[in-house]
Amino acid sequence: MTAPVFLADAAALRASDVVVLDGDEGRHAAVVRRIAPGETVELTDGAGQLARCVVVAASKQGLTCEVTERFDVPEPRPRVVLAQAIPKGDRGETAVETMTEVGVDEILPWPAQRCMVRWTGERGDKALRRWRSTAREAAKQSRRAWLPVVGDPVPTTALAARVAAAALAVVLHEEATEPLGALDLPADGDILLVVGPEGGVAPDELDQLAAAGAVVARLGPTVLRTSTAGTVAAGIVLARTPRWA
């Protein structure tokens, strides 16, 4: 059985061979997961530091862990960034969860024209917090040393700027003729994948992103839900990079 992963303070991981995991994370490990002395856990700061530890004490407040090995995990290259049109209901959290498990490095909520949901005020803040919490928990479950970044919502103008800065930017579209799996992939930089809403990417949005340098590609012969397409696309891309070798 693989060791469970928990998030720890970066300075604490560097400072000592004995790390106290407390707060919400420590209480979850000790009370919910019931991690006991003698068990092995892995602690990460979510930015490449990873420490394999043996638990030497446990209480309701958390765990005391003795470091046995330390690793500095390089940031994955190329980076996979996914702009996800905001779906309705809990489909957004589903998309974030599976994209994180697959290995997406950055997720950009995109309020596309044809999105049925609008993140405004406290409702929008709450939804964004859910996405970030989902990404954090999915990263631990999938044992990632680098947590994905869930950014603030990006309007199409800002998304076009990200397209222009990417090593490769792809808008997924069911009417495209070239498959995603046939595109030449860069060895470094950002690969930006854009997933539209259920109603599709509006023509003027497509024109704006294409003008910034995006190419248009399809996933396959079927049309996927917006909450599924990003995970499938990321898997296709990652399988063709050294990251999944």
Instruction: Give a three-class secondary structure readout of 141-154.
Output: HCCCCECCEECCCC
- pLDDT by residue (tens digit) across 161-193? 999 999 999 999 999 999 999 999 999 999 999
Domain that includes residue 123, residue range: 79-244
Q: Are 77 and 38 in contact (CB under 8 A)?
A: no
What CATH code is carried by the domain that includes residue 165? 3.40.1280.10
Residue 31 has a pLDDT of 95
Query: Residue 180: which of 232, 110, 108 has the closest Cα?
Result: 232
Of 24, 51, 72, which residue constitutes the final position of a domain? 72
CA distance 131 to 150: 7
Residue 111 has a pLDDT of 97
| Inter-helix orientation angle 91-102/226-238, to 10° | 10
Residues 50 and 88 in one domain: no
Q: pLDDT-based confidence at 3, cuts 50/70/90?
A: very high
Residues 97 and 135 in one domain: yes
Report the pLDDT averaged over residues 4-18: 93
Domain count along the chain? 2
Over the chain, what is the mean pLDDT? 96
Q: Is 129 exposed, middle or buried (0-12, 13-18, 19+ CB in 10 A)?
A: exposed
Instruction: Give a three-class secondary structure readout of 96-107.
Output: HHHHHHHCCCEE
- pLDDT by residue (tens digit) across 190-245? 999 999 999 999 999 999 999 999 999 999 888 899 999 999 999 999 999 999 98
Q: What is the largest CA-CA distance in the chain?
A: 60
Of 18, 39, 72, which residue constitutes the final position of a domain? 72
- pLDDT by residue (tens digit) across 27-65? 999 999 999 999 999 999 999 999 999 999 999 999 999
CA quadruple 53, 59, 62, 66: dihedral, nearest 10: -20
- What is the reported pTM? 0.94
- pLDDT by residue (tens digit) across 66-116? 999 999 999 999 999 999 999 998 999 999 999 999 999 999 999 999 999
Residue 220 has a pLDDT of 87
Report the pLDDT averaged over residues 142-152: 97
Q: pLDDT-based confidence at 1, cuts 50/70/90?
A: low
Query: Residue 192: which of 163, 155, 227 has the closest Cα?
Result: 163
